[in-house]
Every structure is written in C-alpha cells, then in structure tokens.
Amino acid sequence: MEKNFPLVNGTTFCTFYSYSRKSYVKTIEFYNKFLKLKISSDSIYYCTLSNPDVTLKVILEENGQKQQQIDKQIEKLESNVSGQDWRTMVARSLVFSTDDIHENEKALVSLKAKYRHYPTELVPLIIYTIDPLGNLVAVTSTKNSVSAIRILPPDSIHIVKQAKITSINNLSSRMITSDTYPSLPKYVFNHKKSIAVMTSGGDAPGMNANVRSIVRSAIFKHCRAFVIMEGFAGLVKGGPDYIKEFFWEDVRGWLAEGGTNIGTARCKEFQERAGRLLGALHLIEFGIDALIVCGGDGSLTGADIFRSEWPSLVQELYQNEKITKAQLDKYQYLNVCGTVGSIDNDMSSTDATIGAYSSLDRICTAVDYVEATALSHSRAFVIEVMGRNCGWLALLAGICTTADYIFIPENPEPHKEWKDKMCDIIKKHRSKGKRTTIIIVAEGAIDTELNSIKASEIHRALCDKLDLDTRITTLGHLQRGGKAVAYDRILATLQGVEAVNAVLESTPDTPSPLIAISENKIIRRSLVDSVVLTKSVAEAIKNKDFKKAMSLRDCEFIEHFNNFMAINRADHHEPRLPPSKRLKIAIVNIGAPAGGMNAAVFSMATFCMSQGHKPYGIYNGFTGLARHESVRALKWLDILGWESRGGSEMGTNRATPIDADIGMVAYYFQKYSFDGLILIGGFEAFTSLHQLERARDSYPAFRIPMVLVPATLSNNVPGTEYSLGADTSLNSLVQYCDVIKQSASSTRDRVFVVDVQGGNSGYLATSAALSTGAQASYVPEEGMSLAQISSDINTLKQSFQKAQGTSRSGKLILKTTNASEALNAKKLADILTVEAEGKFDAKSALPGHVQQGGNSSPIDRTRATRLAIKATVFIENNQQKIKSGRDSNEEFELDNEDYMETACVLGIMGSQVVFTPIHQAFEYETEVERRMPKRIHWSEIRAIADHLVGRKRVDDL
C-alpha cells in the first residue's frame, strides 16, 4: 500500500510508526525529481534537499516480519495500559504540512499535550524538519529503529544520524523531467514555476548579486531556479551544459563578486530568427516558464523581440514536430522580465542600471589618482571612459571629479569650433591659478556633424593651442572590474526579488516588465516601452535632435548636465542673475562628519558663483561662529578638490545654535546680512534648523530662507529617506565586512560579530547586512531578544554542521551598537562561542570610525551636488515669501504657513525629491527623544535580507 503526501516548503512532519496489526511503516522516501532520501526502519539516509517540492511517500507493508515483533511489544504494552485506546492514535501516520515550520512545531507541541495521557515514551516518533528553503535540517528520534522511541520536546530536535550525504552539485547537473524520468510519479514534478535567469551583454558588477537574488527568491517562493550560461549564446546552444538547475548553495558568496559567474556573451545567432527559434525550443525542453534577462539595452531589446515573436516561434516548433501539442498549449506566451545590468546606464526609464555606479566608482578612483600626478606636473589629462553611445559615465565622472571639460554623445560639440570652445574654458581655469586640467571624454563622443571625437584629437588641441603638457589615459576594461559597490549589490538584490515577484504575478495579459529604480524606489515599467524609448535616443542623435536625446535619457540626466555646466562655469563667466537678484548665502556643517559634506559645499559655492551670489562658509559650526566669527567668503581656488574629499573641510561639531549661544549667532547673521542659510548635517543640524526657525520671532536675522541638506551615516533625519554620507559609510563598512568575511570563510567555522555605528538607527546595519549576506543583523528598532539570538545560534549551528568545513561558510553578524545595552559585540561573540558547542567560534570586530568613510563615494558626490544646487535654488525662490516678515517691525507671525515653508528639510522620499517644513517634520514626524523619524522606510529590506540568507524570525511565529 502506498500513501503520498505532498510536502511544501517549511514542512515539519512526523510519522507515528504504525502499530496496528495491519501494517507498519517500512520505508519513507523523499522524492525531489529523483530519489534523494530514503528512510527505512533500520536506517536513515539523506542528502541535502534544496528543492522545495519534496514529496513524501510512505510505504506501508502488510504483516511483515517486523510487524510481528512490534505486535509482540504492543501486546506487552497493552497489558500495562488499561482503558485507553492508544493504539488507535499511534496507528496513524501524521503529516503536518503547512508552509510555516514554526506552526508545525507548535502543532507538534499541542499534539503532545493532547495525547499526554498516553504512554508516549513508547510511541515511536520521528520528526523530520525541512527548513523554509527546502533543506532537510533535522531528523529526530531516539533511535533509528522503531522500538522504544519517545517524543522529544521540540527544543531538543537534533540530527541523530547523518549518513550518505550526496552533494547537490553532483545531482543538479542531471536534468530530470517527467519525460526523461517517466518512472517517477507525476507529483515529483509539481512546482509553481521554473524560472531561468541569464546575464547578457557586457558584464557588470552586481550581476552576480542579481543572479543570487533571483535564484534564492525563486526557491523561497517554491519555484525551481535555472541559470542559462553564456547569455543568449547558451540559450541558442541549449543542453545541460548551458541550462542548469541551480540550488540555494550554488550562489553562496556571489553577492560581492564582480563580473558574472554564469558567463555572458554577445551572440550574433540570437539576432536571427533561427537562433531565437532554437532558444525557444530549449526553454520549452527544460520546462522553463519564465525568463529573467539581466543585461543592457541590447540584451533587453533582444528579450523584447523574443517575447513578441514567441507565439510564432512556438507554432513553428510545433509544425516542425519539435514540440508536442501539450507543450504548444502550455507555452503559449513567454513570461519575460528585464533587470537592467550594464555599466553604461543607457536604458531609459530607470535612474540606474546594475553596475553603473560600481563603474563610476572605478573611474572616480582612477581620476582621483591621476589628479595627484597632474597636480605635481601641472599637466593636462584626457581620460577616456566607456559608455558606448551613452554619456552617463562621462557626465557623472565629470561632476564627481570636477573635470574642466566633458565630451558626451548626447550633447555633441560644435563641429569645427569645439577645440576653441574647450581651450577657452581651460585657459580661464588656468588663468585663475588651477594647476591641473582634467578632460573626460566618453568613448562615443561626437560633434554636431556626428563625427566622433577621439582622445588623440583633444590631446593635440591642448598641446598645440595651449601648449599644455598633456597625457591620455584610457581606462578600458578596468571600469568593469572589481567588486560591486554597496548600491549595486542592493539594487541588484532588490531588483532580483522584484523580478521573481513580477514573473509570478504575470498573466498572459500583463505587459512584460522591466525592473527599474526611480530615486529610492524599485518600480516596474513596461519592457516594450522602455526599449522603444531607449531606441529613440539613438534615433534622436542620428537625426541631430540633441535636445530630445538629452530628455530621453533617465530623468536625472538633464539635471546632472545642467549641474555640471553650472559648477563648471563658476566665477569666470558673466553671472546668470542681474545684480538685484544676487544674494549672500551661508553654508554650515553640523554634527559628525559625513561623506558628501565637502562636495555639497563645493557645489553650493560654485553654483552661487555662476548665479552671481556670494557664498559664505561658516567654519567650525555654530560654536565657531559664536566664538570666533568664523565666516569666510568661499573662493573658487580655495575649494578646488573638495568634491572628492571625505570629512568636513570647514570643520563640524555637534553644537546647535542654542548650545553655542543663539544670540551671538543671530548677531553675526545680522552683521553679514545673510539672505539664506544651508545647513548640512544630521540630527543636530535638523535640531539646529528647528531652533533657528522657532527663534525667528525673537531674531529678525533668522527671517531668511533656510534649508537642511541631510548628511549623516545614521540616515536618521526625518523628512528624508537618504542622507549624504550614508553611502560612503556603507561602502567603507561593506569593504571592511568583505575582508573579515574572507578571513572567516578561510577559517571555515568562524563567525564575526561586527559592531556597527548608527545611533538609534539600524539603517546602516540593515543595508550592510543586505550588501554582505550577513547571517543576522540586530538593530535598535527591534532590540535583541534572547529568543531571536537563540534561534540565530541554532541556524548557525545547523549551517556549520551541514557544511562540515567543506565550503566557504564564514559568517557575519552585524549589530548596531545601540541594539542592546547589555550585550556588546564582544559579549555576543563570547555567548555564541559557548553556545556553539564546538561547531564554530565567534569573534568580535570593531570597524569604529572607519565607518565615517574615506573619500566620498560617487553617489554621495553627485547627490551632494544635486541637493546643494536644489537647496540654493530654494533660497532664491523663497526670498519673496518671507520678505514681509523680514521687513516688518511688527510682531512676527511665527506660525504663518508661508513663513514656515521657508525653513525646510530637503529630502528624497520614495521616488520624489521633497521639501518638508522643519516645523512639520519636527513636530509630527520625529521621535525627538530617540533622535529618530517616526516612520522607518527600510523595514522591508530587513525582511528581504533575512529571506535571502534563510534566517528565521521568532517574531514572525
């Protein structure tokens, strides 16, 4: 007799061995495409099960020899148990089969309670636990035979026997389908969907993180995950060497790695219908329902053509008898989704493609290095960067390194005149005393007649016309190399999760999605529309409609371009604004140093110069102002090079105006007649702005527009989801974690507990956990419960037990300092070591102020520029609104809405850049005591970080 129980993810099931006279359990077998686990009454054999679609088959054998032995035992027992029909109970085979492992454990406890009056020590019970990822993690019994088994309390669940572990890698290379394995029962092949991922086009850092995320999310959602090796070339070739099922552990350690581990290619065959026909056949052969393509504009164009042609391809395959009628019916449409991976950032409709910021990081590091040698020799450097027909890398590198001139395809240089135009600007820069000249040229740069402009021509012009000692540096493929920056790891991971959600939600009527990002928000766009939009950029350039080309790039492109132009013209051009509109604007850094602070000062000052305003720096914060009148007019030559520097060149401290002496602060504001103030800093700057705004009724000098550009690694400023410095800090922490994780992995059985800064904000720890694949992160918002620590220890134990030192299994735990008052990183590490019972050891690691970062990251530099310029424009635009309050000698209406709107926090919220009046942010959106915003915008990514490492959350029980 056979009984089949379909099991799903997270199943805990137990089997009461039958004591009825009719039958007993002879063997239990697990199927997962093919036999992987067999349990008989004398032995337990199993291997790692990584696929969730496990099916349990219980074979009951009638009246075997064993049965007779058992019967004898039962008879003996029966004589001791009177009046209770316990045999009825034990004669059942029970399977708990819910999605929730913890629910099952609870059910087990209640079952025990229900039957507590039975002589349970005589009930043979084996508990099997399958974790949410489909791994069999525990088999519990006191013995492996059916005799004398008692129910164990759930907390003593442990593996009693582990034998014959068959590596999943060996098994996974064999492709098993119901056609190739007809002998296996059909239920073996039950699964929601088979999702394949490929990387295509030029490799980009972050592609591996994207594949990891897609594979693990698919498995987490009860799907089978496949990878297609070598991009479209692998799809065209097909077969098990190119189309492979992937399991949870196959992508371990991929999060940080550069390049793409599943290979990529530029494939000519796929551009022909014949190649795509083969691709379709191979997808169907492997039973793949959905295809996620991580690639650039070309790859997604290919994917889109494949999608649109799919019905006709499938028809042709059927007519040629390559597929069956059932397959024709099943694969009517192609469920395809794009996650954009390319260093070029050339896909319209997304702010960033996976890999673009890592590449920008490589470029900026290289230019920062070149800058030192250029300065030494007073040389000019022409630096050629990649980007194919897109100027994004060159444009943003121009901003980040404050290049003297950039060449990009979207804004072609005037034919014939470009050399003079460029030399004129460089001459001006040199005449002001600048010793270096940096020109960034995109490889696709052109003039207005569409002739390409090469680095060699620029070199010649600089030598001939300006007699500059000039060198060319072509950065080449180093721009695609190295580990992904934190932004790309997070972007790739979140996009992977969203892509799997999108394919699972897709219906034949849903337009194929492209997963994009807008400001801080992951969104879905139509793949077809994005491809059309992207193509129209090339079209516009071809038609010399350059204005249109600029507007069709991502929505920030024009803004970045205008910003570059504004900061580049600085104070050696006729200012844009008439004298009557020129203002005196002060800028001050408050709080702990944060990446991007200097870039914000530089951009604000140079933008002011190009507008005709006078920028002033308040050095050493409000204490500096109150004590030493530390106000300096910012001069172009003095601030050159600040864009890239970390820390705060003007000096910063935590004193608010009230701490420093608000009366003196007002006095100096009056003395210099400031027309506006830009504060750059974290929670202290937020508090300072609130103090200044509330003091407007007493001090008319504060009746000016004031705006806060949030800058703090804690990222805890209400009114924004992103503070400058958070990215620089995250990258420093992530680099540190990568290094110690490498050490932990080499040791095989080590866990590092890393102490993370962030005050009462767990943002940094959470983002770093997502970027490094940390096993757990503890944050102040959640605290550290003993139950959670205990659960994490168990997970670690199981994981090390399973790995048996055979893989790179070093682990990280991140703990925000304030997550617990009682447990610091060292104590937690000590507890882990003791509780690990020799399965692993733990050490603490304290990155400390390394987390304040070194040089500002490109993201912080460009965002600083963007926000500082927006802040300055805010000051320009709000002069009139507060003018009457400023001019009037009558009582000032503090709560006048117009006035309140002139003192704001400048933030990024979701996909919007917003100004929130400080009064509103402080009164309604802040937990002042805790120095935290009321709404935590990153909770969702905590859940994702946990899912992707298989962490169990006790609070979800």
Ligand X SMILES: Nc1ncnc2c1ncn2[C@@H]1O[C@H](COP(=O)(O)OP(=O)(O)OP(=O)(O)O)[C@@H](O)[C@H]1O
Ligand Y SMILES: O=P(O)(O)OC[C@H]1O[C@](O)(CO)[C@@H](O)[C@@H]1O
Residue 744 binds ligand Y (CB under 6 A): no
Q: Smaller CB distance to Mg ion: residue 297 or 693? A: 297
What are the DSSP E strand ranges found in 242-349?
A: 243-246, 290-295, 335-340
Cα(907)–Cα(917) distance, integer angstroms: 11
Residue 759, annotated as binding a ligand? yes
Select the residue interacting with ligand X from 216, 222, 237, 388 (CB under 6 A). Answer: 388
Q: Smaller CB distance to Mg ion: residue 353 or 606? A: 353
Q: Smaller CB distance to Mg ion: residue 353 or 470? A: 353
Residue 471, annotated as binding a ligand? yes
Residues that bind Mg ion (CB under 5 A): 296-298
Residue 750, annotated as binding a ligand? yes
Cα(676)–Cα(607) distance, integer angstroms: 14
Residue 232 interacts with which of ligand Y, ligand X, Mg ion, none, CB < 5 to 8 Å by class: ligand X
Q: Smaller CB distance to ligand Y: residue 386 or 825? A: 386
Window contacting ligand X (CB under 6 A); options: 197-205, 238-246, 599-607, 859-867: 197-205
Closest residue to Mg ion, based on beta-carbon distance: 296
The one-letter code for the residue type at 811 is: K
Residue 344, annotated as binding a ligand? yes
Residue 297 binds ligand X (CB under 6 A): yes
Residues 520-559 that bind ligand X (CB under 6 A): none
Residue 844, annotated as binding a ligand? no
Parallel, antiparallel, or unpaired: how do β-strands 55-62 and 44-46 relate?
Answer: unpaired
Residue 495, annotated as binding a ligand? no
Query: If you search the block for the tokens 């492709």, which residue do you land on?
Result: 175
Closest CB 397 distance from ligand Y, rounded Å:
13
DSSP H helical ranges for 33-186? 65-80, 86-90, 101-114, 168-172
Residue 645, annotated as binding a ligand? no
Q: Smaller CB distance to Mg ion: residue 527 or 753? A: 527
Token pair in block for residue 151: 């129910």
DSSP bridge pairs for 196: 226, 291
Residue 301 binds ligand X (CB under 6 A): yes
Q: Smaller CB distance to ligand X: residue 229 or 730? A: 229
Closest CB 524 distance from ligand Y, rounded Å:
24
Q: Which of 374, 674, 304 is nearest to 525 (CA)?
A: 304
Residue 305 interacts with which of Mg ion, ligand Y, ligand X, none, CB < 5 to 8 Å by class: ligand X
Q: Which of 924, 443, 448 is nearest to 456 (CA)?
A: 443
Q: Smaller CB distance to ligand Y: residue 387 or 593? A: 387
Residue 206 binds ligand X (CB under 6 A): no
CA atoms within 13 A of residue 458's CA, in its CB half-sphere: 31
Select the residue interacting with ligand Y from 52, 124, 132, 202 (CB under 6 A). Answer: 202
Window contacting ligand Y (CB under 6 A); options: 380-388, 503-511, 594-602, 923-931: 380-388
Residue 480 binds ligand Y (CB under 6 A): yes
Cα(135)–Cα(36) distance, integer angstroms: 11
Residue 298, annotated as binding a ligand? yes
Residue 333, SS3 per DSSP: coil
Residue 851, annotated as binding a ligand? yes
Residue 234 binds ligand X (CB under 6 A): no
Select the residue interacting with ligand Y from 10, 205, 259, 296 (CB under 6 A). Answer: 296
Cα(99)–Cα(293) distance, integer angstroms: 30
Closest CB 268 distance from ligand Y, rounded Å:
13
Q: Smaller CB distance to ligand Y: residue 320 or 456? A: 456
Residue 714, annotated as binding a ligand? yes
Contact criterion met (CB below 8 Å) for 311 and 329? no
Residue 443, annotated as binding a ligand? yes
| Catalytic residue from among 250, 344, 488, 755 | 344
Closest CB 278 distance from Mg ion, rounded Å:
23
Residue 949 interacts with which of ligand Y, Mg ion, ligand X, none, CB < 5 to 8 Å by class: none
Contact criterion met (CB below 8 Å) for 492 and 341? yes
What are the DSSP E strand ranges found in 284-334?
A: 290-295
Residue 213 interacts with which of ligand X, ligand Y, Mg ion, none, CB < 5 to 8 Å by class: none
Separation in Å, CA 29 to CA 3, 46, 163, 352, 892: 11, 9, 15, 48, 81
Residues 317-346 that bind ligand Y (CB under 6 A): 342-344
Separation in Å, CA 344 to CA 204, 363, 443, 667, 911: 9, 12, 11, 51, 22
The one-letter code for the residue type at 629 is: E
The one-letter code for the residue type at 256 is: A
Residue 77, annotated as binding a ligand? no
Contact criterion met (CB below 8 Å) for 689 and 903? yes
Separation in Å, CA 606 to CA 270, 707, 711, 879: 49, 18, 19, 20
Task: State the Cα angle at 130 between 126 and 135, rounded to 5°.
Answer: 130
Query: If you search the block for the tokens 């680095």, which residue do you land on?
Result: 455
Residue 342, annotated as binding a ligand? yes
Active site residue 346: no
Residue 604, annotated as binding a ligand? no
The one-letter code for the residue type at 919 is: H
Binding string, 384-403, against ligand Y, x = CB under 6 A? --xxx---------------
Number of residues that bind ligand X (CB under 6 A): 19
Q: Smaller CB distance to ligand X: residue 300 or 446? A: 300
Q: Smaller CB distance to ligand X: residue 204 or 625? A: 204
Residue 412 interacts with which of ligand Y, ligand X, Mg ion, none, CB < 5 to 8 Å by class: none
Q: Which of 203, 9, 15, 167 is nearest to 91 (CA)?
A: 15
Cα(753)–Cα(828) distance, integer angstroms: 7
423 membership: H or E segment, kind and range? helix 418-431
Residue 302 binds ligand X (CB under 6 A): yes
Residues 304-333 that bind ligand X (CB under 6 A): 305
Closest residue to ligand X, based on beta-carbon distance: 298
Residue 386 interacts with which of ligand X, ligand Y, Mg ion, none, CB < 5 to 8 Å by class: ligand Y
The one-letter code for the residue type at 798 is: Q
Cα(809)–Cα(741) distance, integer angstroms: 9
Residues 253-282 that bind ligand X (CB under 6 A): 266-267, 270-271
Closest CB 390 distance from ligand Y, rounded Å:
8
Query: If you search the block for the tokens 């490929």, which residue do you land on?
Result: 198
Q: Smaller CB distance to Mg ion: residue 343 or 692? A: 343
Separation in Å, CA 331 to CA 378, 533, 824: 65, 29, 55
Cα(504)–Cα(498) distance, integer angstroms: 10
Q: How many CB atoms lie within 10 A of CB 805?
A: 10
Cα(408)–Cα(443) distance, integer angstroms: 8
Binding string, 143-182, against ligand X, x = CB under 6 A? ----------------------------------------
652 membership: H or E segment, kind and range? none
Cα(525)–Cα(115) distance, integer angstroms: 55
Cα(414)–Cα(416) distance, integer angstroms: 6
Closest CB 387 distance from Mg ion, rounded Å:
9
Contact criterion met (CB below 8 Å) for 89 and 118? yes
Q: Which of 579, 568, 620 is nearest to 424 (CA)?
A: 568
Select the residue interacting with ligand X from 52, 134, 201, 617 (CB under 6 A). Answer: 201
Residue 329, annotated as binding a ligand? no
Annotated binding site: 202, 266-267, 296-299, 342-344, 379, 386-388, 443, 471, 477-480, 654, 712-716, 750, 757-759, 843, 849-852, 931
Active site residues: 344
Binding site for ligand X (CB under 6 A): 200-202, 232, 266-267, 270-271, 295-299, 301-302, 305, 342, 344, 388
Q: Which residues carry a binding-site annotation for beta-D-fructose 2,6-bisphosphate?
A: 654, 712-716, 750, 757-759, 843, 849-852, 931
Please enumerate, by residue number, every residue annotated as part of a binding site for Mg(2+): 297
Known binding residues for substrate:
342-344, 379, 386-388, 443, 471, 477-480
Residues lying near ligand Y in the complex (CB under 6 A) are found at 201-202, 296, 342-344, 386-388, 443, 480
Q: Which residues are annotated as a binding site for ATP?
A: 202, 266-267, 296-299
